Structure formats: C-alpha cells, structure tokens
Amino acid sequence: MDIQTLTFIIVGLTFALYIAIAIWSRAGSTNDFYVAGGGVHPVLNGMATAADWMSAASFISMAGIIAFAGYDGSVYLMGWTGGYVLLALCLAPYLRKFGKFTVPDFIGDRYYSQTARTIAVLCAILISFTYIAGQMRGVGVVFSRFLEVEIATGVIIGAVIVFFYTVLGGMKGITYTQVAQFCVLAFAYLVPAIFISIYMTGHFLPQSGFGGTIAEGVAGEGNFLLARLDGLSEELGLAAYTEGVRSKIDVFAITCALMVGTAGLPHVIVRFFTVPKVHDARRSAGWALVFISLVYLTAPSIAAFAKVNLINTLNGPELTGVEYENAPTWVKNWEKTGLITWEDTNGDGKMFYSGDERNEMTVDRDIIVLANPEIADLPAWVVALVAAGGVAAALSTSAGLLLVISTSISHDLLKRTLAPNITDRQELLSARIAAAVAIALSVWFGIHPPGFVAQVVAFAFGLAAASFFPAIILGIFHKRMNSTGAIAGMVVGVVFTLSYIIYFKFISPELNTAEHWLFSVSPEGIGTVGMLLNFIVAVAVHKLTGDAPQQTQELVESIRYPRGAGGAVDH
C-alpha cells in the first residue's frame, strides 16, 4: 500500500476519533466549555497539557531548526523546556488558588481594573493569533505533502476539523481529544526515531545513539555521530554543527523570551483549572513534564540523524552530488509542494547541498521531521504515522488557542466588561461565534505566515513575555503593585516588542541582521528586552502612584500562603 493511501487511512481514523470524542464530551454549560467542569484526573490532564504544549513548532519545526542551525537551534529546546518548569513550579499553583481561569480574568481582578482586563484581553488575542498562525501553517505543510493538496487547502481542512470539536466540546471536548492526540503524536515521534537510531548507530534509545558511533555499513562508520556531522558541515561550507554563530547575548535573549513567555501563555495556564484541587494542579504539572520530556529529549537525536541522512542523500557518500534523474523519491515528492527546490547552477545535472556558492538546493526546515522517515527509507506506515502525529500536534494546540480567543471575548470582554447581564446560554453562544471568527482569521495567517513555524511561535512567546509575565509575577509576589503600574508596564512592553518584530520582519526585512538589531538581539529574542521594560516601567509607576488597596494586598497574601492543605477555596 502506498504512502498516500496509508496517510488517508491513518489520518482519517485519527480525525474520526477526535470527532467522536468531541461528540461524546460535548459541553452543556460555560463551566464545561471553559474548564471542563473542573473534574479532569491529573494524569489525563497531564497528557492534555503535554499535547497542548507540544504544538506543530515542537513536533514539526523544533528538530528541523536544530538540524539546520545546530547548536544555535538548541535555544528553542532549552527555552521551551525551562519555561514549562517555571510555569509549573512558580505560577500555576498560585493562579489555580486565585480561582480565575483566564489570564485577563486574573489581571482584571488582581489589579481591580476593567482597563487592565481589557488590555489583557487584547494581548491574549494578539498572542494567540500569532501562535495559531504557526499551527495552521504546520497543518498545511503536512497535508501539502501527504494528501498532495495545496498548502492553503491543507490549512482549510485542518481548520474545519479543529473548529468542529472546539466549538462543540469546548474545554471538555478539547481535553479528552488532546489525550488521544498526545498518544498519537508521542508514538509518531518516537517510532521513527527508534528505527533510525538502530539503523545508524545500533542503539535502541535515540538519546544514546545521539552520542554514539555510526554503525557498520553506514557512511562514516566508526566515527562519532556528532564528529561526523561537524566534519560534513565544515566540508560543505556550513557552520560546525556543535558550534553556534549567534552572539551569546542573542542566545540568552531568545532562551529567556521563550522561557518566560511560556509562563504567560494563556492556553497553557487555563489547563490548571480543569482539575478539582490545587494539589491536583501540581500533580498534573508533574505528569505533563514527564510526557513532554518523551518528545523533547528525543528532538536533538532526530535532528542529528536527519541532517546526516539529508547531506548523504543530496550529495552522495563521497559528497560529489547526486544525478537528479536518480534522485530519491522523497526529493521529487517534496518538490511538488514547493518546500524543496533544485536549481542546476553549474549545469552538471547533479544535485548538491552546501552552505556556500556551490549550493543548488533550497530545503524548507519545516519538512525535516516529516521527511525524515522517507529520507531514511522507513516503511510506508511509519511515514503515514508521522503525518498523523504532525496533524495531531498542530490541531491540539490550535484548539487550546481558539478556546483562549473565544473565552477572552465572551467571558472577559462581554460578560465581565461590556454586557455583564447576559445569560449563561448567551455567553456560550458568543464564545462559539468568537471561535468561528477566530478560525477564519487563523486560516489567513496560516496561509500567509510571517516565517517558518518555530519562528512564528517564538514571536508569540516574546509577546507573552513582554506583556503577561511581569504582570502575573508582580501580581503574585509583589502585593503592593497597583493597577496603574501594571497597565503602564503591559502597554510599554507589548508595544515595544510588537513594533520591533513588525519593523524587522515586515517594514525593513533587509535590515534584519545582527548589526542593525538593538543590543544585538534578534526579533525572536526581543521579548526579553520588552519584559525588562515592562518590569522597570511597572515598578517606577507604582513608586510614583502608591500601593494597591489593603483588600487587594490581603487577597495576594491568601494566594501565597493558603490556609490548610490540599483542596483550595477558590476566590
């Protein structure tokens, strides 16, 4: 059975499963729609959180950028992993104790201000739309190859599926769908990694194969995998794989922006309200970290295996090029999508991939994980399984982001600000309408993204770092912080960060180089500077305008030092 047929079957079965779960767990109230009734088991919530967390950027693009950028690509791995630990240990329990299941709700109540709530709503929508653009792009990339449709068509297909189970089931439907999606994406990620590790290094565990030697019969046999990769890279005019070319300050800025941006991501924070108690929130955070590590600790191995195989496939074992007429099937399959191209610049009829003027190949880094099984010549069912995993990763996070957008509009903007007298049924209807509008806009962003998947997601994390993180941290650990300071900090942080990204990515992309960046910090890392500005402005304005009311200070104290243990009394 060919790859396309198997992909139709496996992806179709997973879609049927997701829709069936959505119908079974459809939401009947706003409590079901927003927080799944607050009764999800910690282990299941851990799986759902992991699926929500591991988006298309994690599944499709993270290993791809590590494969192409080597050491520099590790900033995504370090930032996203460290960020989840920060969120789980320092923020989630306190936010759960506060009892507000959206970030704008927390900010509005903690800073006793409708203005603060409205600004937080706008930030949440901005962050979520930026993030969802990467997810929809990921869906389009998967479908463009394996279902042989245009990327735009693939984006629309994915949008229809995610819209159905998000609008029907809300958080309740999303939670149980994401449990299934985690199982699919984890299995799809690990199986080809194990296959390739055994073939290339003889090691069953990809992590040990990453540090092992190349097996007999494979080009470069007897050499350490990373040493072989360094040698190939340098010979082809690329930077050594284990050495970075980014400045240290930019590496730090990107890692920090990804890490603290994590703590401000609204679609992850709401996950800790779907369990019954604060203790369960901590347990589900721990379980999620276990499940996340299954994929994240495997990504560097996949990246290294893929890069070696890519170079050998496109250049041949002797690095002299490969006749295009004899090119592997995967090259011509991906050429149809436009995500890999060849231009015979020297007229010799051979493909050649390098980092200098000899290069004749353009390879989109978002295809690495998806193409990896084909490059390694694995069975067709493994290739189809990876396609299903990529779709699951993109859809799981898209669903969480759509829910954030819909709840921000229906609950925080309408119910809490503009129309406080609407009924439960009207609020639920407005949430579904908001999701419909959001999915339509996300389709456009998915078809016209401002960069590759991981890069687009990095922008979202930067915006979250510059807007939400300082407001949440100060709201929990600085009881005297007032609303004026928090509002001023959020506005300055997000406006600065957004302006910087827009300038270098859209207005003057030709200036998007290290010599033109502020403090040598790239747009992917500028959220760190925005975060620092937020903190400085918030604290300075607070000093000039006085402390928060005593009642608010007592509320913050009760969050940090709850009476009793175990169950929480939500405020």
The closest of 108, 110, 102, 117 to 477, measured between CA atoms, is 110
Hey, what are 294's tokens? Answer: 């299954």
First to last CA, the chain: 57
What is 3-306+378-461's CATH number? 1.20.1730.10
Q: Please check whether residue 301 is in contact with residue 325, taking contact to mean a CB–CB distance below 8 angstroms.
A: no
| 300 confidence band (pLDDT: 50, 70, 90) | very high
Residues 6 or more apart in contact with residue 67 via CB below 8 angstroms: 73, 302, 303, 304, 306, 307, 310, 365, 368
Task: Tell me, letter by letter, the H, E, C secondary structure of 313-327.
Answer: HHHCCCCCCEEHHHC
Report the distance separating Cα 225 and Cα 180, nearest Å. 34
448: how many CB neighbours lie within 10 A of its CB? 11
Query: What does the pLDDT read at residue 169?
Result: 53
What separation in angstroms does the CA of 402 have from each of 127, 262, 319, 512?
A: 11, 17, 47, 31
Contact 269, 103 (CB under 8 A): yes
The SS3 call for residue 354 is coil
Distance CA 429, CA 378 (A): 47
- Report the pLDDT value the prediction gives residue 299, as an integer from 0 to 100: 93
As given in the structure block, the two tokens for residue 318 are 């002797």
Cα separation, 259 vs 261, in Å, equals 5
Do residues 135 and 53 lie in contact, with contact meaning Cβ atoms separated by under 8 Å? Answer: no
How high is the pLDDT of residue 239? 86
- Cα separation, 239 vs 280, in Å, equals 46
pLDDT tens readout for residues 479-537: 999 999 999 999 999 999 999 998 998 889 899 999 999 999 999 999 999 999 999 99
- Distance of alpha carbon 307 from alpha carbon 134, whole angstroms: 23
432 or 291: which carries more pLDDT confidence? 291
pTM over 0.85: no
**Residue positions counted in the chain:** 571
Planar angle of CA 312, 313, 319, nearest 5 degrees? 45
Q: To 10 degrees, the CA torsion angle through 423, 426, 432, 433? A: -140
The residues facing 340 across adjacent strands are: 363
Name residue 322's beta-bridge partners.
Answer: 351
For the chain, domain boundaries: 3-306+378-461
Regarding beta strands 340-342 and 361-363, do their DSSP bridges make them parallel or antiparallel, or are they unpaired? antiparallel
Q: Mean per-residue pLDDT for 30-58?
A: 71
Q: How far apart are CA 336 and CA 343, in angstroms?
A: 14
Which residue shows structure tokens 């175990």?
A: 566
- 196-219: average pLDDT: 93
Element (H, E) at 340: strand 340-342
Mean pLDDT, all residues of the chain: 84
Long-range contacts of 145-148, Cβ-Cβ distance < 8 Å, separation of 24 or more: 145/333, 145/334, 145/336, 145/337, 145/339, 145/367, 145/370, 145/371, 145/387, 146/3, 146/4, 146/7, 146/11, 146/370, 146/383, 146/384, 146/387, 147/4, 147/7, 147/8, 147/11, 148/4, 148/336
Q: Where are the alpha helices (DSSP H) in 319-423?
A: 329-335, 368-375, 380-407
Read off the pLDDT of residues 361-376 as tens digits, 9 standing for 90 and up.
999 888 888 888 988 8
Whether the predicted pLDDT of 570 surpasses 60 = no
Write the DSSP symbol of residue 49. Answer: H
* Per-residue model confidence (pLDDT) at position 566: 42
Both tokens of 175, joined, read: 């939670």
The strand pairing partners of 361, in sequence order, are 342
C-alpha torsion 270→273→275→277, nearest 10: 140
